[in-house]
């Protein structure tokens, strides 16, 4: 897949526009990662992702974390600097989706007749723009 | 009827109607026994599953605002202002849709402009509540009607995410919720506290990354097992599904155990009835 590389200035502007939050306010306390229920499945855990966004180019086409976050909002409510890493993740996910990057196609999903529709609806919501 | 009847608008949502019919049956029976009359919203739409999280997700509010518009018209006719939801995802999404006008007015104006050709957009004034909140407002009635039928049964409440986060919609303290415990006590049950009761079960990853759900539900399950509970209850159909598919826990929807406590056995599945009766016999 072609890359989708954004530098810190572009990332910061997108995040400001999408969330009203300021990533430079992050003081790297790590509370977001500590409370995240899915951090260990991410390539960049929440605090590391916010740090990456602050200081270096990020390739959204390669970033797995944005497809792992379930928007449980724990880190958003807990962040002492109101950076709200869950909203940063959601911003990056939306930019990726708008650029045509998909987490997985529907044909690969594990669906049978017992799959509750709530699972399909919520998964679809997070996999489409 | 022993209580004055209060009419409520009822929003079912997709999964309650299709996959969790017993949840609808038992919840309605319980609410009717507590003096509520439920009128289903005409032409309700999908809640949207997840509310918009960022400021650019206008389209994610369209379906919840459309439903609230329909509900508002009907609410005026019925003389009520309350919409009750059974599913925490519906509660969360509709509640955030309801708050949009007062909390994010710019976003509201834009979403409302999408809907202006269809209806007069939602003007505010409805109260979106979850089943759990209605139970909590009737604790003395629960005690009276149940006669402490669940006496001695150790129950682990599992909350999940959607009733507690973000804090703008939380129906209890998100760090230390007690609302379900407070509902269970008048029924005679002994609620147990355990560390993972608000930890995310893994949600929709069941469909694409099931190992995430397996890991998270197994953490929840071992926490419940060490708490000494003999049964788990949850208000969320998605958590219920994930815990049942991935763990050996005995899990029921909250509405089932309350229906049992109120002696509404005709509304329960045979299996849930058997589980609860066996537990009662063991005490």
- Taking the alpha carbons at both ends of chain A, their separation in whole angstroms is 19
Mean pLDDT across B249-256: 98
d(CA A125, CA B57): 11
Phi-psi region of A21 (alpha: psi -120 to 50; beta: other; left: phi over 0): beta
Is the Cβ pair B200, A87 closer than 8 Å?
A: no
Is the Cβ pair A116, B241 closer than 8 Å?
A: yes
Give which of B18, B22, B49, B53 to mutate to test A binding, by max A Cβ within 10 Å: B53
The interface pTM score, or ipTM, of the predicted complex is 0.94
> Nearest C-alpha of chain A: how many angstroms from B83?
20
List residues bridging with A38 in a β-sheet.
Answer: none
Give which of B16, B54, B196 to mutate to test A binding, by max A Cβ within 10 Å: B54
Instruction: Please report residues of A whose CB lies closer than 8 A to that of B174.
Output: 77
Percentage of residues in chain B with pLDDT exceeding 90?
90
State the average pLDDT for chain B: 95
Query: Average pLDDT of each block of 10 consecutive residues along chain A (129 residues)?
Result: 88 96 97 98 98 97 95 97 97 94 78 92 87
What CATH number was assigned to the domain covering residues B146-282? 3.40.50.1860
Tell me the pLDDT tens digit for each residue of B65-100.
999 999 999 999 999 999 999 999 999 999 999 999
Q: Which residues, including other chains, have CB under 8 Å from residue B214's CB and lie 6 or more apart?
A: B202, B246
Tell me the pLDDT tens digit for each residue of B113-172.
998 888 888 999 999 999 999 999 999 999 999 999 999 999 999 999 999 999 999 999
Domains of chain A: 5-102 (1.10.1060.10)
d(CA B44, CA B38): 14
Architecture of B6-131 per CATH?
Answer: Up-down Bundle (1.20)
Are the C-beta atoms of residues A96 and A126 closer than 8 Å to each other? no
According to DSSP, residue A6 is labeled: E
All CATH 1.20.1050.140 domain ranges in chain B, comma separated = 6-131
Give which of B63, B93, B203 to mutate to test A binding, by max A Cβ within 10 Å: B203
Is the Cβ pair A118, B216 closer than 8 Å?
A: no
Phi-psi region of B50 (alpha: psi -120 to 50; beta: other; left: phi over 0): beta
Is the Cβ pair A116, B18 closer than 8 Å?
A: yes
For A9-32, the DSSP string reads HHHHHHHHHHHS--GGG-----HH
All CATH 3.40.50.1860 domain ranges in chain B, comma separated = 146-282
- B50 closest CB neighbour out of A71, A109, A115: A71
Are the C-beta atoms of residues B94 and B61 closer than 8 Å to each other? no
SS3 B62: helix
For residue A125, give both structure tokens.
């919501």
Q: Mutual orientation of helices B237-246 and B210-227 as an angle, nearest 10°? A: 90
For residue A118, give both structure tokens.
């709530």
What is chain A's alpha carbon radius of gyration, rounded to the nearest angstrom?
A: 15
């Amino acid at each position: 897949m072609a890359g989708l590389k954004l530098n810190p200035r572009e990332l910061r502007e997108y995040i400001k526009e999408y969330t009203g939050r300021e990533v430079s306010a992050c003081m790297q306390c790590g509370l977001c990662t500590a409370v995240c229920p899915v951090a260990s499945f991410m390539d960049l855990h929440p605090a590391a992702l916010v740090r990456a966004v602050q200081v270096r180019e990020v390739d959204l086409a390669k970033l797995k974390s944005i497809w792992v976050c379930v928007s449980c909002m724990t880190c958003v409510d807990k962040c002492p600097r109101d950076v709200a890493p869950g909203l940063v993740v959601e911003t990056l996910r939306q930019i990726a989706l708008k650029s045509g990057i998909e987490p997985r196609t529907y044909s690969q999903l594990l669906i049978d007749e017992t799959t509750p529709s709530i699972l399909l609806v919520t998964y679809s919501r997070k996999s489409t723009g | 009827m022993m209580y004055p009847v209060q009419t409520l608008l009822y929003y079912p949502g997709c999964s309650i109607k299709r996959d969790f019919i017993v949840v609808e049956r038992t919840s309605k029976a319980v609410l009717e026994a507590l003096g509520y009359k439920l009128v289903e919203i005409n032409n309700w739409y999908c809640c949207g599953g997840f509310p918009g999280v960022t400021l650019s997700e206008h389209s994610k509010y369209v379906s919840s605002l459309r439903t609230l518009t329909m509900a508002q018209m009907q609410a005026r006719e019925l003389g009520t202002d309350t919409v009750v939801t059974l599913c925490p995802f519906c509660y969360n999404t509709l509640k955030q849709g309801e708050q949009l006008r007062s909390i994010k007015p710019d976003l509201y104006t834009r979403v409302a402009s999408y809907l202006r050709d269809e209806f007069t957009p939602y003007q505010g004034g409805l109260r979106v509540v979850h089943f759990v909140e209605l139970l909590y407002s009737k604790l003395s009635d629960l005690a009276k009607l149940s006669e402490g039928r669940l006496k001695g049964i150790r129950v682990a409440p599992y909350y999940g995410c959607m009733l507690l986060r973000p804090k703008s919609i939380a129906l209890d303290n998100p760090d230390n919720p007690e609302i379900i415990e407070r509902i269970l006590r008048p029924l005679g049950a002994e609620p147990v506290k355990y560390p993972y009761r608000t930890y995310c079960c893994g949600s929709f990853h069941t469909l694409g990354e099931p190992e995430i759900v397996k890991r998270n539900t197994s953490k929840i399950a071992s926490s419940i097992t060490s708490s000494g509970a003999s049964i788990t209850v949850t208000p969320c159909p998605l958590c219920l599904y994930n815990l049942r598919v991935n763990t050996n826990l005995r899990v029921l929807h909250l509405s089932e155990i309350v229906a049992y406590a109120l002696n509404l056995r005709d509304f329960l599945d045979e299996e849930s009835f058997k589980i609860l009766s066996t537990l009662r016999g063991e005490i």
